[in-house]
Amino acid sequence: MNIGAFPATEAFILPNVAGVLLEKRFVVASSQNLNTSSDERSFCDDFFSSHELQNRIDLLTIGIALVAPDQQILCANKAFSHFLGRSIPVNTSFYNALGDSEIEGPDYCPFASVRRTGKPTVTSVRIGSRVFELTFSPNTFADGSLHGFVVEMRDVTPTHEVNETLRRLLEIGVELADLPSYRLAANSPEDRMNLLRQKVENGLRNILHYNICEIRLLEESTGRLLPFLAFGISSEAAARKLVSSSNDNGITGYVAHNRVSYYCEETLDHPFYLPGSPDARSSLTVPLVWRDKVIGTCNVECTEPGAFTELDLYFLQIFMRDVAAALHTLNLLSYEKVFAVQVSLGAVIESVASPIDEILRNAAVLMDANLDQDPAAIPALRAILEKTRVIKDQIALVRSRMTSAQDSNPVSGSHPLLNRRRILVVDRDQDVLSSAHTILEEHGCIVETAPDALVALKMLRCSYYDAVICEIKPEGGMSGYQLMLRMFDLYPGLSVPPLLLSTGFGYDPGHTLVSANQKGLLGVLFKPFIPKQILEKLEGVINVCGKRDKDGELIPPNEIEGTLQSSFADEAETLHRFTPAKRSDPGKQNSFFSKREGGRFKTWIDQINDLGVDSDEAADRAASSGDESGFDAT
């Protein structure tokens, strides 16, 4: 006959049972059948109820029950009775012996399965708070007829609890960053983080059964460990400032710096331990790691010394791995949302940038044209300039608010000096102007554009700019070098905005760069603009040339512009007082870039052309002689 299917860990079982059978002249071995005659079967029935076999199986540490084909228990050892909590009388139904129990599978009809297949089967049963594994094996004669069953019973509660904890950790790990689409659209990043905090706390309290915990996230740029979640610890401990360091920052700082888990068995005399909970006697701290990079730490504590095991460490590491993945996912969602916002606002800004620039240019041209023709119109035109800039500022403000919540606002990045700095870009190519808007406005700059240097000069007279970028040979006859010379006349008593000349392919047909360098040109940019180059160049020239207060701090452009506007208003008022009548002849308007000569008004470009020389050369002559009457901007 077959005496069950015993595992290797219980290898002593078979010799015990086989020894009894050998004394009765039966040849028995593991997984072998006993050849018997029909007369011997009745003897075997008597044998299984004998006192000698009962003594043998009582020596076993696992529960053993010999069950008849009708599922009546013929005999059971002490371990089997101990697992059930009572002695089991002979001929008790097997399922009645189990009492108030619940079969958890996977085989819910084990006796029927053994009858059908002739092979052992395994199932689990819960009795109260304990879980047992039952192995049902056939007990057959050589001719294959079923003599009964051998049932092995093992207490697998610890293993089951481990598996159940792992299952629940897996479930909550999947749920940590699982947010419905409607919540992604409606909730802010902070709302999503608060929801994650609730889920993490639920896992720590209800699955891992910790009542004292602190999670901190590592700020990579500063090394600070910022509080993310804390419960059960004192307010002083939660507010404590910690950094990733092996020295003077407790076990949390040590773990973050060295990327290792740390078990403190006794907190009272530990040199690294910083009090979290007043009653804590032991602590377990693990790093939060995502793709080989530490992003935070988790510290749990207990009021008993030596309270944690390797299994606790294993569970906590698994859960914190899922927490790190969830944090990474939420960051990706935040960045994705920010990117979508930036794309949308970028499209809006790009579509309105050109019309707004045109309004600003036209307002500046009208202000110049009406300076002596209709000075009373100057305030209205000034209001147009200001309101138009307010529109740009509001769009930029919305963009900043929607992105700064993610700590991804580029203004707070590597070029903070450019924030709110007004830049004038002069170029005939609309693609170049659009590129300047895209690159600079992402870093907080206020970009305004002009198609040529003549319009740029009018805009420079009406408004102050922190820097000017002009192509070497813009349209309109005035070169970038000549623009630089005229700018010195526009800001008496004020810092002249730094000028950067731009060129494509390094081509300098009129040696403009040579002349400009001799007059103090600060830099050259190459087109198309390279973001890193243009940002670093602008930041450098603004830092060097920007007007500073008595404390050495750069003055905001709006304060400088106030002086410029006052000067412009005084000039308009003076002309209004001493001009006896408005000129009605448009051909005789004394515009900003005109000069009376021979009874008519001519632009200074016309005067240069009359000389029959290159404009840069004429500018050099005037500058070297000290006579700039031919280029008088006023």
Task: Note whether 28 and 166 are within 8 A (CB).
Answer: no
Give yes or no: residues 558 and 603 share one domain: no
- Residue count of the chain, please give it: 634
Give yes or no: residues 374 and 416 share one domain: yes
Per-residue pLDDT at 583: 37
Q: Is the pLDDT of residue 264 over 70?
A: yes
**Which contacts (CB < 8 Å, 24+ apart) does range 140-146 have?**
140/1, 140/2, 140/33, 141/1, 141/33, 141/34, 141/36, 141/41, 142/33, 142/34, 142/35, 142/36, 144/118, 146/69, 146/115
Per-residue pLDDT at 53: 65
Give yes or no: residues 539 and 596 share one domain: no
Q: Is the pLDDT of residue 98 over 60?
A: yes
The token duo for 409 is 């606002």
Residue 531, preceding bond cis, omega within 30 degrees? no
Per-residue pLDDT at 564: 52
Q: Is the pLDDT of residue 407 over 60?
A: no
Per-residue pLDDT at 562: 52
Give yes or no: residues 84 and 202 share one domain: no
In a domain, 330, yes or no: no
Q: Is the pLDDT of residue 369 over 90?
A: no
Mean pLDDT on 130-151: 84
In a domain, 324, yes or no: no
Among 538, 560, 578, where does a domain finish? Answer: 578
Crossing angle of helices 430-441 and 310-369, rounded to 10°: 130
The parent domain of residue 30 ranges over 8-155
Given pLDDT bands bounded at 50, 70 and 90, which one contains residue 424?
very high
pLDDT, one tens digit per residue, over 310-321 is 999 999 999 999
Range scoring the smallest mean pLDDT among 145-149, 226-230, 547-551? 547-551
Most confident of 10-14, 49-53, 262-266, 362-366: 262-266
Above pLDDT 70, what percent of the chain? Answer: 69
The continuous run of DSSP H or E covering 264 comes out as strand 262-264
Domain count of the fold of the chain: 4
Give yes or no: residues 279 and 237 share one domain: yes
CB atoms within 10 A of CB 431: 10
Mean pLDDT on 30-37: 38
Give yes or no: residues 107 and 22 share one domain: yes
**Which CA distances in Å does 173 have to 74, 177, 211, 315?**
48, 8, 19, 12
Per-residue pLDDT at 425: 95
Spatial separation of the C-alpha atoms in residues 114 and 92, rounded to whole Å: 20
Q: Is the pLDDT of residue 101 over 60?
A: yes
Going by their DSSP bridges, the two strands 293-302 and 282-290 should be labelled as antiparallel
Give yes or no: residues 94 and 177 share one domain: no
Most confident of 201-215, 396-410, 600-614: 201-215
DSSP strands (E only) in 107-207 = 121-127, 130-140, 146-155
Given pLDDT bands bounded at 50, 70 and 90, which one contains residue 611?
very low
CB atoms within 10 A of CB 40: 16
Give yes or no: residues 300 and 362 share one domain: no
**Which contacts (CB < 8 Å, 24+ apart) does range 610-615 have?**
614/510, 615/477, 615/478, 615/479, 615/482
Residue among 459, 527, 482 nearest 632 (CA) = 482
Alpha helices (H) along 187-234? 189-202
Among 111, 129, 155, where does a domain finish? Answer: 155
Among 108, 132, 155, where does a domain finish? Answer: 155
In a domain, 518, yes or no: yes
Give me the half-sphere count of Cα atoms (radius 13 Å) on the Cβ side of residue 563.
14
Spatial separation of the C-alpha atoms in residues 215 and 320, rounded to whole Å: 10
Give yes or no: residues 366 and 438 share one domain: yes
Per-residue pLDDT at 604: 37
At 147, which CATH number? 3.30.450.20
Q: Is the pLDDT of residue 634 over 50?
A: no
At 299, which CATH number? 3.30.450.40
pLDDT, one tens digit per residue, over 493-546 is 567 888 899 988 766 666 777 788 877 788 889 888 999 999 999 988 888 776
Give yes or no: residues 248 and 170 share one domain: yes
Q: Is the pLDDT of residue 348 over 80?
A: no
Q: Is the pLDDT of residue 617 over 70?
A: no
